[in-house]
Amino acid sequence: MRRSRVVCLACLLTAACGGSRTPTTPSGNAVVVGSSSPAQAYLTELLNLMQANSINRDRINWTDVRTQVTQRAQGAQTIADTYPAISMALGFLDDHHSFYSGASGGGVGNPSGKRCAAPAPSTSTMPADIGYVKVGSFSSTVAGADRAFADAIQQQIRSADAPAVIGWIVDVRGNGGGNMWPMVAGVGAVLGEGVAGYFVPPSGASTPWSYQGGGSFSGTSLVGQTSAPYQLIRPGARVAVLTDSLVASSGEAVVVSFRGRPNARSFGGATCGLSTANQTYRLSDGAMLYLTVAVMADRNRTPYGDSILPDETVSGDAEVIQRAIAWLRGG
């Protein structure tokens, strides 16, 4: 069994997890009794961002949260001293997905973060009439790494495609997330052109994501791209998507992208349950708050936000492959 504590995952609303957003005007102050002014101001800054933007902001008692969090930070003299209080605040958000990364790179855990486990999947040799592509996790911030990752996924497709191929297996098992954009761009030849899903906030307009001409788009913004778009010999062929409980966040975004696609069906186990979208906010010291602000919805606008059940629950590594192949062949 592989066990994964899912905390550092998708920055779904920003390209390559590197964006930031100007916060909404703060409301209220967090008074840290017995703490230095820098520590007090920092915690206030963080709580204001949470209150203004959290997906659960309208159902949280912010007076109570601010009281408990600031009490936890009593005596804090430095920003690092506030980390236990920041962890408490993350837990009060009750979204299981938000997290904080300090300016020096160290993280602060979310006590409500999900822990998911699944057996390590293996890959069987595919028959000649079945194409296979593995979509794994990706989180590098090295320049150009995202395009290289998308190209590697697309190369799997290019190498497997042939006139005899009647359908595709898209294996997302074990994909714990990271950056969804090169994943969508890489698998786009099998996914097909057009809107594949939506980010749905608690209020206001939804933002579509799509695949077009070798690129993945958030709204109208190109955020992921392959070097040379590939087109299948048989566009629109059947697709079997394989899932397990380690599929989380950006991995779940790939699963959602195939929901509602004609001739697509999923097999395996339920996903981890982080089918929500994080927005990044840069704090005054350079630290980053990755805050859950929306749920994922498929192309038919069916919302998720938790575990995604497969169309067919199948246990066993060999069994899920066999069932997927049988369905691709019309069974």
pLDDT in tens, 226-246: 999 999 999 999 999 999 999
Q: What percent of the chain has pLDDT over 90?
A: 81
Give the model's confidence band at 3: pLDDT under 50 very low, under 70 low, under 90 confident, else very high.
very low
pLDDT at 35: 62
Cα-based distances in Å from 45 to 17, 30, 40, 78: 21, 8, 9, 14
Q: What is the mean pLDDT of residues 326-331?
A: 95
pLDDT at 109: 83
Q: What is the Cα–Cα distance from 259 to 171, expressed in whole angstroms?
A: 14
pLDDT tens column, 107-142: 898 898 888 888 888 777 899 999 999 999 999 889
pLDDT at 107: 84
SS3 (DSSP) at 266: strand
Q: What is the Cα–Cα distance from 238 to 264, expressed in whole angstroms?
A: 6
Closest residue by Cα to residue 165 from 240, 85, 115, 221: 240
pLDDT at 6: 36
- Beta-carbon contacts of 229 under 8 Å, excluding residues fewer than 6 positions away, are 188, 189, 213, 214, 215
- Per-residue pLDDT at 18 exceeds 70: no
pLDDT at 34: 56
Q: What is the Cα–Cα distance from 235 to 150, expressed in whole angstroms?
A: 19
Helix (H) or strand (E) holding 151: helix 145-160
Give the model's confidence band at 10: pLDDT under 50 very low, under 70 low, under 90 confident, else very high.
very low
Closest residue by Cα to residue 247 from 194, 201, 304: 304
- Per-residue pLDDT at 32 exceeds 60: no
Give the angle subtended at the CA of 37 by the CAs of 34 and 42, to the nearest 5°: 105
Q: What is the mean pLDDT of residues 70-76?
A: 92
Q: What is the Cα–Cα distance from 84 to 81, expressed in whole angstroms?
A: 7
Mean pLDDT for the chain? Answer: 90
pLDDT at 40: 87
- In which residue ranges of the chain is CATH 3.90.226.10 found? 117-277+293-328
- Per-residue pLDDT at 26 exceeds 50: no
Q: What percent of the chain has pLDDT over 70?
A: 89
- Per-residue pLDDT at 8 exceeds 60: no
- Per-residue pLDDT at 7 exceeds 70: no
pLDDT tens column, 171-228: 999 999 999 999 999 999 999 999 999 999 999 999 999 999 999 999 999 999 999 9
pLDDT tens column, 33-54: 456 778 889 999 999 999 999 9
pLDDT at 150: 98
Q: What is the mean pLDDT of residues 311-319?
A: 95
Fold of 117-277+293-328: 2-enoyl-CoA Hydratase; Chain A, domain 1 (3.90.226)
For residues 320, 323, 327, 329, the Cα torsion angle rounded to the nearest 10 degrees is: 110
